[in-house]
């Protein structure tokens, strides 16, 4: 291929765009941010507008998500502790897990699934513990119920998993919904798998 020197300058921006990695799921950085919700919402790089809106409207949920990120990251590292790739994190890298997420791989699929599951778990737990203003106990788990051992009365605060799933879907999937390419669809699939 014979490209004149002047032609290289026309192709260079396209090549750099193609080679520059996209920031993936930067909401994972919520584990590293502290302080007020405004500081957190405005300083996590790469959040799409829908994620920023949810962040500003629900600071208590974002704190729960931040704690959840630390937990699912630790769980990922535990699950892969005997493997070559052990879910190690790179705080200086916007992808948090480094270049492994730039490829469509089993590891990448697992990270997307466990992160989505971790958000559901963190929100559901915070909701059940009364830490969130926007949700309460599961309304379907009140009064009397029956199982194989007989009739019983629900007591305490049952986990409102539906709220956790709904909020996680709105927040976690927001960035992937903007894209219609194969990678975005794969990430949405893995997010859904984690919420099941």
Q: How far is Cα 52 from Cα 121, in angstroms, rounded to an integer?
A: 21
Task: Using pLDDT thresholds of 50, 70 and 90, give the confidence band for residue 31.
Answer: low
As a whole number, mean pLDDT of residues 138-166 equals 79
Percent of the residues in the chain that have a pLDDT greater than 90, as a whole number: 30
As a whole number, mean pLDDT of residues 83-99 equals 68
pTM, to two decimals: 0.75
3-state SS assignment for residue 67: helix
Task: Using pLDDT thresholds of 50, 70 and 90, give the confidence band for residue 37.
Answer: low
3-state SS assignment for residue 5: helix
Contact present, 181 and 189 (Cβ < 8 Å): no
Please report the DSSP string for 142-195 in residue order. Answer: -SEEEETTEEEE--S----HHHHHHHHHHHHTHHHHH--SHHHHHHHHHHHHHH
């Amino acid at each position: 291929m014979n490209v004149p020197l002047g032609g290289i300058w026309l192709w260079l921006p396209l090549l750099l765009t193609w080679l520059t990695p996209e920031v993936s799921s930067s909401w994972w950085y919520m584990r590293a941010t502290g302080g007020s919700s405004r500081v957190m919402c405005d300083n996590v790089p790469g959040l799409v507008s829908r994620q920023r809106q949810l962040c500003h409207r629900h600071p208590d949920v974002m704190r729960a998500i931040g704690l959840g990120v630390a937990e699912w990251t630790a769980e990922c590292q535990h699950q892969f502790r005997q493997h070559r790739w052990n879910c190690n994190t790179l705080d200086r890298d916007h992808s948090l897990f480094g270049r492994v997420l730039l490829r469509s791989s089993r590891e990448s699929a697992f990270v997307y699934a466990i992160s989505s599951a971790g958000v559901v778990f963190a929100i559901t737990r915070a909701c059940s513990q009364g830490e969130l203003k926007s949700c309460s106990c599961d309304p379907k788990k009140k009064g009397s119920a029956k199982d194989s051992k007989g009739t019983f009365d629900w007591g305490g605060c049952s986990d409102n998993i539906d709220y956790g799933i709904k909020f996680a879907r709105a927040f976690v999937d927001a960035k992937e919904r903007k894209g219609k390419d194969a990678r975005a669809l794969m990430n949405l699939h893995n997010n859904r798998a984690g919420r099941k």
